[in-house]
A and B are shown apart, each in its own frame.
Chain A
Amino acid sequence: MTPDVFLHSVCAAIEKVGQADGASLPSALLRWVTDAARQSPFLRLSPLTCEATSGDPAHAVPVAAAWHLLHCAAHLLDDVADEACHSLEPAQAVNAAVTLIFLAQVSLTNLRQSQVEPERIVALVATFNAATTRMALGQAADLSWDEDAATLDDYWRVAGAKTGEFVGLACRAGAMLGTQPQTEVDIYATFGYHLGLLVQLGDDFRALWTPRGRGDLTTAGRTLPVVYVLTVASSEARTLLHSLLHRALDNPAALRELQALLADQGALHYLTLQAGKQHRLAREALLSSARPAVAQHELLQLLDAAFPAVARERWASSGESLDG
């Protein structure tokens, strides 16, 4: 199943659950969800981990659809939490998110049509629900984030519970379609968890050094570079950082000053070091699987693309290449 065919199938599966039982999802919301699916790099993860564990990637279609519906719901809820919900009234956005969450469940139960064993479907539903619960608890910690008191441990706890768990879920669910032993499923979940953290570090970097607008900067206080500097800097530097975080929202000169302060305090070096660590942990997890396969290779390529600078160092120092 080619990536294009898979993506087309996922969009068709989303449209199907969105129009099931005479309760159609508003067409605007449905088009937004499917267009987001067409752009999402995450949708490759479930079919690849399914294939890597000798499963049929076609079975991953309802799973990837369910995961994407949850991702869209999380996006809407994040916007409400960050008061960045400009498209819908907050109450409407919450209602849309709840609808998408339950449509994800519907999508998983559609695995019956692919002759997947009922026990495995129940296990997948339970896995989705457990991961979603952990993510919601991570979101709760995020909502009570205290910029003055946050530590690096807090950062990793929230990022792990939110992004790590979520990307880990996509990989775990795909592997559950291909294999039974928990130890092997855990390998792919661990890969996804660290890949998720690596993607988060990339997002943190982008939010601070190439922000697309005010929205990226409103949550800058929760990024790793800022938390790192708040942890290690002098009280004078911390005071300046707090001030710059607020002024940078609307002031390009303050943003440049903020970027310079973070860089001077070693935040870029720390980010690079932590990205290298997450890359290594994800790679080691994947290579611990005894299943060399084309899908495995594609997963490694996706990992390397998540933070190319640290992956490139590996190639330079060990003689490995992207295709090697």
Chain B
Amino acid sequence: MCTLESIINHLAADTPFRAALTTDPEAALAARGLTLTETERQLMTRLRPLLALPAEPLLQRLLDDGPDGGPWWWASYPFLAAYLP
């Protein structure tokens, strides 16, 4: 399992880690022996407001940003059967 997956594992199962990640991410990661590359660190920093959420509020945030709005959440293909005689 790579470091990012280990972090996600901790986020899912380890409530103190989730809280620590919000207040002092460097210390939280170091305490569990998780070392990030600079790129991974930047990614974690940017997404920390989302990643520090428990599953239910995170789901709500993702749902609030979709799934039926915006150009990419299109209604998929028209139903071909509707065009056939």
A206-B67, A210-B67, A313-B49 known; A269 vs B81 contact (CB < 8 Å): no
Of B47, B56, B73, which one neighbours A206 at CB under 8 angstroms?
B73
Contact of B83 with A309 in the complex, beta carbons under 8 Å? no
List the count of A-B residue pairs having beta carbons below 8 Å apart. 134
Contact of B73 with A302 in the complex, beta carbons under 8 Å? no
Q: How far apart are the CA atoms of A70 and B77 in the complex, in Å?
A: 14
Of A231, A264, A307, which one neighbours B12 at CB under 8 angstroms?
A264
Question: Considering only CB atoms, which chain B residue lies closest to A312 in the complex?
Answer: B65
Interface bits B72-85 vs A (CB < 8 Å: 1, else 0): 11111111110111
Of A29, A44, A269, which one neighbours B58 at CB under 8 angstroms?
A269
Contact of B47 with A41 in the complex, beta carbons under 8 Å? no
A314 interface residue, CB < 8 Å from B?
Answer: yes
Contact of B50 with A41 in the complex, beta carbons under 8 Å? no
Contact of B46 with A36 in the complex, beta carbons under 8 Å? no
A39-B74, A270-B8 known; A209 vs B59 contact (CB < 8 Å): yes
Q: How far apart are the CA atoms of A313 and B53 in the complex, in Å?
A: 13
Of B58, B64, B83, which one neighbours A32 at CB under 8 angstroms?
B83
Contact residues of B between 29 and 85, Cβ < 8 Å to A: 42-47, 49-51, 55-56, 58-59, 61-68, 70-81, 83-85
Interface bits A297-309 vs B (CB < 8 Å: 1, else 0): 0000010011111
A30 to B: closest C-beta gap in Å? 9
Q: Which residues of B contact A86 (CB under 8 A)?
A: 81
A159 to B: closest C-beta gap in Å? 15
Question: Considering only CB atoms, which chain A residue lies closest to B69 in the complex?
Answer: A308
Q: How many B residues touch the partner, as a band?
A: 35 or more
Q: Which residues of B contact A272 (CB under 8 A)?
A: 47, 50-51, 58, 62
Q: Which residues of A contact B42 (CB under 8 A)?
A: 280
16 contacts across the A-B interface (CB closer than 8 A)? A32-B80, A35-B78, A88-B80, A206-B67, A231-B5, A263-B58, A264-B12, A269-B55, A273-B44, A276-B43, A280-B43, A308-B65, A309-B50, A309-B62, A310-B47, A313-B49
List residues of A whose CB falls within 8 A of some B CB.
28-29, 31-32, 35-36, 39-41, 44, 72, 75-76, 86-88, 152, 199, 202, 205-206, 209-210, 212, 228, 231-232, 263-266, 268-270, 272-273, 276-277, 280, 302, 305-310, 312-314, 316-318
5 shortest interchain CB distances as A-B pairs: A266-B12, A87-B80, A263-B55, A308-B65, A41-B71
List residues of B whose CB falls within 8 A of some A CB.
1, 4-5, 7-9, 11-13, 42-47, 49-51, 55-56, 58-59, 61-68, 70-81, 83-85
